[in-house]
Chains A and B, each alone.
Chain A
């Protein structure tokens, strides 16, 4: 009694007039509750345009992490459910793929309009299911969702002109995480549908409701049945979807670990794969930055969505001269930071998605504390129920600290000082990840230089975590490959028109034994005697054992073995060096520093060439790679390498910088093994056997290098449609988007 009297007093106008405190400002949840009630708080899959609830499935209760309240019951799908969904998508594909682009555009447009119509419902459901603040779903997530549909309606309309060399893939299996449940699935289905594919989606376990709601909205908007299907289930069911033989592409956003599993699972199957994975993105702040604005930028970078953002700016790399000042400003900022119920419109941060996530974050922070790091958490109110973790700043940590190295996926910022721009770049790149980054300075020249040198798919200048459907988003290094958004994102959902999906039937083999080889012996009995016609004197020909070529020079192989080169008549026409893993190592380290181009090359590309076109195949592959600024370690045709080796003289005389093209002759699969396994080779192109293709894709999971393989099918290299063009460009570049907001003029 007395408590309530007291609280009335505290909340009187007179008291608030004195204190000027904030009060609760809850967003009403009535529309969301009504929608849940409409479904009896129980959901099945959404397949072929209708709700499907098979008998006997296990269930999963989805909760509001801000309150712990159970929102609804969903089901745990099994293989038959996936089969049903894929079958439905395959059936729908036959007509959807043939639907005129303009009509597909109208469908996407219609979905956008319908989402806008249900904006409030969608925002509230997303907030209740995930725990993120209503301000973010209302002002960020859902507007971006809508924008993606409108944007891709445009691409659907333009497919015949803008993507005329390309065609759809078929059925897309999309697997998305819980941090932006609706936004990230939209990033998959919009380009997929625009390019004429159909989709089976598996939402994350914690957050299934908005995906199911979207499926219902799509049906309302008139999207044909089967074009977009949602099946709910465990991670195991996700694997089941990814390995379904009739799924033509897997589009995934989530953890690096699961991304690696998916790469291994789909290796050698001819399925396309795009992965948008983890990050430990740097926020690089120079003394020439607007520090007050940087503080707000850091709020956007690390405390947006409770830090559960793959592109979260979790490493603050700040110039030593302003380190203390910026940290003080940040700490001050946190004293009036507000944590609270996700539906409250007056909060900065809401609830974490699940208790397990909170524990993980806590362990990281306590670990740092034990290591002697300084942990700052402002004394701000934390709701007594629900799953919350305060915004945290960790200083006095170094590059060896776990909290600096690993992705925490929570509201935890680590701070590292730097002395010079060069050191800042090195620190920024000192990570296995490469998803995003931001650079803070008013010096344009510096911003661009640093931005171009950071190995990340997105660089924001003087801002962080800004997204748009027109700008592709995706990673370098172990943050994955493929882009979501922009024209660059469309390529993930198409294949060249001439190409059919290869479905190689590779029997399981031991990947560890792949490429093992015994060196060949050079000829000893093939005495090659040449006759000089004038004198009719037989004199011995000088030995023609070629060297290998790397670092801008001809080198003898590390192990002094040679392999025979035999012409089609079976005659030995020469010998080449037998390269091994040490040659690969040497080639790579010498040339890495030569990669100074700034037009977004992939980096070091390993290329294994076909035997069918020893010269054209070689040139067709190394040339597009090199002109886009990559360096290559190339294995020429195993059988006919001489014509490629003759090119090293051309390289030398044409002033190609040393290390740009490196030619290692030898056993293709043996050398491929070491190139594909090499942690500092960023992409592997393999034109050999189906088995080798599977090996390359499988082993690439380790450092998530990009791959381009032929699944054992050769192409017509002399046919311009197949032997050159956009496909080669696509594989030669990775898109980095640098965001440079501009403006200084505001008045007179």
Chain B
């Protein structure tokens, strides 16, 4: 399916990846899973030292990162005003003078999506329309985010509600109680139902890796969600003690690779939680490029869940253009 996203752009012919329809639950795919934490950690630690980008490469990479951001606000005190501000920033993520200096003003760069709670979806849809950015997807968390400790019935209802409000991407949380007790079939069944509840909306499954106890569980949760039809697998809610780390990411993207080899379906990856530094954004892109290939560095298959990251990226771009660092107050806040 082709989604005509970025209006005037010649540079972003992004096409949403073919959906992952999922497969029947196959317990053998969760057998003989071996993940060695120290070895994964070593690879994670050297990702940023083996690759780096400088000068215009750095600028271009940072812009690519911007296009992959799920610009997020998930707070108890979210109201229409800050959600609107977020949406306008989503449409205009980088100062125009900076884009002009890089000859990127016509590239139509926006963030990948905005991400809000279900009750704020309608606000976001309205604001994006006002900002002339209706092509930007609205993602909604759902299913008792962040803990998921609610009845299945209401969790499914949340999805249907968010979709009805205009969300085209749904970030669900998986059932950690089932995961930690080894009931992968249970996890699968629930995610299957959530997939059905999404309808046409893309399904992102949040593993809440910081609560899964072991990297082996992270791998199994990844594989289970993909079998159940996840279009993206996502590291964290941002509310756990440990969120998006390169180590956890490696385990997840390797599972994506394995699932692709098994089924030919491409599943996207979304790290979220604690991603704040522009330099890290480049390392995230490099991780995707190295482990999965260029296709997985575009918003169809890669999103960075973040809120503060954009400011740091914009400051780096400012430095690239002007050779000086901008004060934070010189960057329009989101």
Chain A residues within CB distance 8 Å of chain B: 11-25, 135, 139, 287-294, 296-297, 300, 336, 345-346, 348, 441-442, 462-463, 741-748
Contact = CB atoms under 8 A, between A and B. Distances in A.
B285 interface: yes
A741 B39 contact: yes
B64 A20 contact: yes
A746 B37 contact: yes
A139 B242 contact: no
Given A13-B104, A296-B39, A744-B214, A20 B49 contact: no
Contacts of B41: 743
B63 to A, nearest CB: 5
Contacts of B293: 336
B308 interface: no
B277 interface: no
Interface in B13-48: 32, 34-43, 46
A23 B54 contact: yes
Given A16-B57, A463-B42, A747 B210 contact: yes
A441 to B, nearest CB: 8
Contacts of B104: 13-14, 17
Contact of B209 (A287, A292, A336, A747): A747
Given A21-B57, A23-B56, A744-B214, 7 more contacts: A11-B56, A17-B60, A22-B53, A23-B57, A25-B52, A345-B52, A748-B212
Contacts of B60: 13-17, 20
B265 interface: no
Closest 8 CB pairs of A and B: A23-B57, A16-B60, A293-B39, A741-B38, A747-B242, A290-B36, A747-B210, A17-B60
Contact of A346 (B53, B64, B102, B103): B53
A745 B241 CA distance: 13
Contacts of B54: 23-25
A12 B285 CA distance: 19
Interface residues of B, number: 52
What is the predominant secondary structure among interface residues of chain B facing chain A?
helix
Given A12-B103, A463-B38, A744-B37, A293 B50 contact: no
Contacts of A745: 37, 213-214
Contacts of A24: 54
A462 B56 contact: no
Given A462-B38, A463-B42, A746-B215, A16 B56 contact: yes
Contact of B241 (A16, A743, A747): A747
Nearest to A296: B43
B248 interface: yes
B57 A293 contact: no
Contacts of A345: 52
A14 B107 contact: yes
A20 B289 contact: yes
A453 B220 CA distance: 34
B11 A292 contact: no
Contacts of B34: 288-291, 441-442
Contact of B213 (A17, A135, A748): A748
Nearest to B67: A17
Contacts of B63: 13, 17
Interface in B57-100: 57, 59-61, 63-64
Contacts of B240: 747-748
A17 B38 contact: no
Contacts of A336: 289-290, 293
A293 B212 contact: no
Nearest to A443: B34
Contacts of A742: 38
B56 A442 contact: no
A462 B36 CA distance: 8
B285 A13 contact: no
Contacts of B215: 744, 746
Contacts of B56: 11-13, 16, 23
Interface in B94-131: 102-104, 107
19 contacts: A15-B60, A16-B61, A17-B64, A17-B104, A20-B289, A23-B53, A23-B54, A23-B55, A23-B56, A25-B57, A139-B46, A289-B36, A290-B34, A296-B39, A297-B39, A442-B35, A741-B38, A746-B215, A748-B211
Nearest to B44: A296
Given A20-B64, A20-B285, A462-B36, A135 B57 contact: no
Contacts of B152: none
Contact of A748 (B36, B210, B254, B297): B210
B294 interface: yes
A135 B40 contact: no
A747 B35 contact: no
A13 B102 contact: yes
B205 to A, nearest CB: 18
B297 A20 contact: yes
Contacts of B294: 19-20
A134 to B, nearest CB: 10
Contacts of A293: 35-36, 39-40, 43
B99 to A, nearest CB: 9
A14 B210 CA distance: 37
Contacts of A297: 39
B331 interface: no
A422 B63 CA distance: 54
A17 B53 contact: no
Interface in B214-272: 214-215, 240-242, 245, 247-248, 250, 254
B51 interface: yes
A155 B267 CA distance: 54
Given A18-B11, A462-B39, A292 B52 contact: no
Contacts of B254: 292
A745 B55 CA distance: 39
Contacts of B42: 296, 300, 463
Interface in B274-326: 285, 289-290, 293-294, 297
Interface string B183-216: 0000000000000000000000000011111110
A17 B107 contact: yes
The CB with the most chain A CB atoms within 10 A, among B56, B64, B103, B240, is that of: B56
Contacts of A139: 46, 49
Nearest to B213: A748
B11 A135 contact: no
B311 to A, nearest CB: 20
B40 A290 contact: yes
Nearest to B209: A747
Nearest to B40: A293
Nearest to B38: A741
A580 B104 CA distance: 87
A326 to B, nearest CB: 12
A131 to B, nearest CB: 17
A570 to B, nearest CB: 70
Nearest to B289: A20
Contacts of B211: 747-748
A293 B285 CA distance: 20
A635 to B, nearest CB: 48
The CB with the most chain A CB atoms within 10 A, among B53, B242, B250, B285, is that of: B53
A21 B61 CA distance: 9
Contacts of B102: 13-14
The CB with the most chain A CB atoms within 10 A, among B42, B57, B289, is that of: B57
A292 B257 CA distance: 10
A336 B287 CA distance: 11
Contacts of A463: 38-39, 42
Contact of A746 (B51, B59, B247, B297): B247
Contacts of B11: 14, 17-18
A25 B286 CA distance: 14
A346 B61 CA distance: 14
A219 B33 CA distance: 55
Given A23-B56, A336-B290, A747 B212 contact: yes
A747 B213 contact: yes
A293 B32 CA distance: 15
A293 B219 CA distance: 13
